[in-house]
Chain A
C-alpha cells in the first residue's frame, strides 16, 4: 500500500471520529459537562504523551512536567492577552493566529527550560534525575508565586478563551502525529536505543548526550503546549494547579498506559479522566485509589496496559484486506 493512501486512511479515521463526537454533541448526548471532561482528557493526553517520550522512549525518569506546563501556560497566556489587545483583524482569523503563535511561544519557552535543566542533569540516571526534575518543578511553581509581574500567587484572569472541542481535537491529533513520526525516524531510533542500552548506543555511533537533551527538550516543548492549551481553554490560570501531585498524576497516566506506547497513554488518560469524574464524591480518597490501581498494575501487568504496542488504523485495514483475499482464494 502506498504511503499516501496510508496517511489518507488515518486522516479519514480521525475525521470520522471527530464527526461522531460533533454529532453526539449536536444530538445532545454529550452536554457541556461531558465536553468539559473530554477537553480535560485531551489536555492530559498531550502532556502525558510528551512525558512518555522522555520516560517511556528515552528512558529518563522525569517528575517535573507540571513545571514545563506552567511555563507554557504563563508564556502563552500573557502573549495571548497582549496580542488580543494589539492585533486588529476579524475575530475568527485573529483567534487562530493568536492561538497558534502563543502555543508555539509557550512551547518554545518550555523547551528552553527543558534545555537548561537537561544539559546539567541528564548525566544523572534513574532516581537522581527524578529528584532533580522534581525539584525543578517546585522551583518553577514557587518562582511563579513570587513574580508579581506575571500574576504572582493570584489567579491570572482575562485570558482569551480560544480552545473548544474542535481545537482540542486538532491539537491532540497534531501532537500525537508529531510524536509518532518523531519516534519512527532516525532520531526516534536513537532515542529508543538510549533507553535500551546507553553504552551500546554510544558504541554504534549515537551521540547519546545530544539525544538525551534533544528528547528531553522536545518533551518539554509539548508539555508547554499542553499548558498553553489549558490556559486558553479555562480562560484563567490557577498557579496552585501545577504542584508535584499534578506531575505525579501525569506520570501515573504514562505508567498505566505503558511506557513506550502513545496508544496506551491515550487509553489511560481517558480511563483516569472518566474515573476522576466518578470519584468526585470521594475526592479525598482519589490519590489512594490511584495508588491501589498502580500497585495492582505493577503486580499483574508491569508493562502497562499496552506495553509498547501501538494501535494503527492502517494495520487494521491491511489485515482486513488480507483476510478478504484469503477468503476469496480458498
Chain B
C-alpha cells in the first residue's frame, strides 16, 4: 500500500491541468494589456513580446491629415492611452460607471438587508411562500424580461436617464437570498439582546446585522459591482440617444467602428482603463473581506 504518498505523475498531471486552466483565463487579459502598449505594426506582426519595443512609430492618420511626417512620430503606449481618452470621453464614461454601479449597489443593500432580515429572523404568516418567490425570481433570466422592462421605462419617459440604468436592478433577489442565508447564521440571542437593549427592528438591521454581515456584503458587492460595471446589454437597450450617459463598456464601441487597424491599440488601452477600477476595488474589498471574517468573534 502506498497511501499517504503522492505519485509524481499524478501530481504532474494535476498541475499541468491547473496551469492550462490558468493560462486560458489569463491569456485574453495578457493580450489586452500587451496590445495596449504596442504600436499598430507590432500588433499586426505579433512582434515585440509583452511590452513591445516602445520605439516611436509613424502615425499614418496624422500624416493623412497633412501634417509633416516629423510631427507624426508617436510613442506606442502614450499614443494608445492618449487616444483612449481623446477619441472618446472615457473619464465621463468611467464617472457614469461609478454613478450607476454605486447607486445600484447602495439601493440594492437598502432593500435587500431589511428583506433578508425579515425572511431570516422574523416569524410571519406566508414567510416561506415569499422566500419561495425570491428563489423563483432567481431563475428568471434578465434577457427574458428586458423588453417589457424597456417598454415600461419608455412609457414613463425614463429611457436615456440614469434612472433607466439603475431602477431595474435595485431589487436584487440574489442579494436578498445571499444575505438571508448569512443572516440565518447570526445567533437569535444577539437579536434578542438588541431588543432588550431597546433597538428597533430597523436599528437591528443596520446596527447589528449589517456589521455582522460585512463579509457577505463584500461578496455581494463584488457580484453586483462587477456585473453592472461590465454590463453591456442593458445600457445598450435603454441608452438610445445621447452618449453622455454611456457606461464604460458602451464606450468601447467608439473604437469598434474604426476601419483602420490603428484603433486596436487605443481600444485595448481603454479596455485596460475600464478594468483597472474593478481590480483596485476588488483588492480593497479583499482586505475588508478578511477583516470582516476576523471581526466576527461570535461563537
Co-complex (A, B) = no
